[in-house]
Amino acid sequence: MFLKEQLMKKLYSALMTAFNEDNTVDLQGVRAMVRYNIDVNHIDGLYVGGSTGEAFMLNTVEKKAIFKTVIEEANGAIDLIAQVGSLNLEEAKELAQYVTDLGYKTISAVTPFYYNFSFAQIKHYYNEIVKDVDNQLIIYSIPALTGVSLSIDQFAELFENPKIIGIKYTNADFYLLERVRNRFPDKLILSGFDEMLLPALALNVDGAIGSTYNLNAKRAKAEMVAFDAGDIQKARDLQQVSNDLITDLIQNDIYPSLKLVLQELGVPAGFCKEPMSHPNPDMIAGAKAIYTKYLK
């Protein structure tokens, strides 16, 4: 089990899923991205099965295959967090048990979305996911995509369950972040917006999870070191470059572009799953320019 101090100021890549051109999962590509994160990025951990992994477009069999492949390839070298959340509560519970049996020490679950669930229903969802598994859970809060904004008192109610240990906080409400950090000093808070890493560090988060760390981990780690050393100007300069990179990725279609830039780095990251875009010549040229400008 993770202790809070073990996660302090650690950096996690939100792992992508490689797909073949026919939309099937490319497990060899998944292995290659795990290896790159370990061997080149020297990442502290991977968040597996989240938004970046296109997990909400996958069936249960595909999710299980990815979870199994990742833990085999990582082989204990880094921390792993398995995102098992689903609109199908039975699937979420099944995946929670599956990854626990595989050896994942921490699970995570997105807030249930689309149906405007009441907080009582959301609380029931989280308690059910962890009820029958010997594991600990991090709430995945991403209101911009789920439409679910939890209040500080609602987080407090969820934390009444001792198996719920923290939050993947992908929320631009930094007033709420400060309030949550102040009220729950012993809970894990992992920042989920790469472009806001520096202000999140200023609010004393315990680490960060993000898509662009698959490419940009070295720069993000250098920013964390600079911040801890009190060199705020250096941290600002590094965040500015990171945000320039993020802006260029977004303008070039971020998910396929992340994979295209990894291809430039020699990592067979594959395609995105439709209806996400497959690369066109302009996108490929844009990704090459991003690689040359920021990573070569």
Marked catalytic residue, from 126, 140, 169, 255: 140
Average pLDDT over residues 117-138: 98
Instruction: State the residue for tokens 């609602």.
Output: 154
Range of the domain at 96: 4-231
User: For 143-179, how does the pLDDT look when each residue is reduced to its tens digit (9 = 90+)?
Assistant: 999 999 999 999 999 999 999 999 999 999 999 999 9
Res. 71: pLDDT tops 80: yes
The CATH number covering residue 77 comes to 3.20.20.70
259 a catalytic residue: no
- DSSP string of 87-147, one letter each residue: SSHHHHHHHHHHHHHHT-SEEEEEPP-SS---HHHHHHHHHHHHHTSS-EEEEEE-HHHH-
- Tokens for 23, please give them: 């939309």
pLDDT band at 7 (very low <50, low <70, confident <90, very high): very low
Model confidence pLDDT, tens digit, residues 31-68: 999 999 999 999 999 999 999 999 999 999 999 999 99
Instruction: Decide if pLDDT at 1 tops 60.
Output: no
pLDDT of residue 146: 96
Write down the pLDDT at residue 287. Answer: 98
CA–CA separation, 234 vs 231, rounded Å? 6
pLDDT at res. 8:
58
Is 111 annotated to bind ligand?
no
> Would residue 291 count as lying in a domain?
no
Q: Is 192 annotated as a binding residue?
A: yes
Indicate the number of domains in the chain: 1
Q: Is there a domain that residue 82 lies in?
A: yes
Per-residue pLDDT, averaged over 252-257, amounts to: 98
Whether 153 maps to a domain, the answer reads: yes
pLDDT over 60 at 4, yes or no: no
Q: Could you tell me the pTM of the whole model? A: 0.96
- The CB density around residue 9, as the number of other CB atoms within 10 Å, is 16
The answer to whether the annotation marks 29 as part of a ligand binding site is no
266 within some domain:
no
pLDDT digits (tens, 9 = 90+) for 213-248: 999 999 999 999 999 999 999 999 999 999 999 999
Q: What is the mean pLDDT of the segment spanning 178-196?
A: 98
Rounded to an integer, what distance in angstroms lies between the CA atom of residue 231 and that of residue 24?
Answer: 46
- Please say if 4 is a catalytic residue: no
| Residue tagged active-site, from 10, 63, 93, 168 | 168
- pLDDT of res. 217: 98
Domain for residue 27, yes or no? yes
15 belongs to a structural domain: yes
Q: Does residue 258 belong to any structural domain of this protein?
A: no
Task: Give the Cα separation of 65 and 73 in Å (integer).
Answer: 12
Q: Is residue 60 marked as binding? A: no
The reply to whether 114 falls in a domain is yes
Q: Check whether 194 is labelled as a binding-site residue.
A: yes
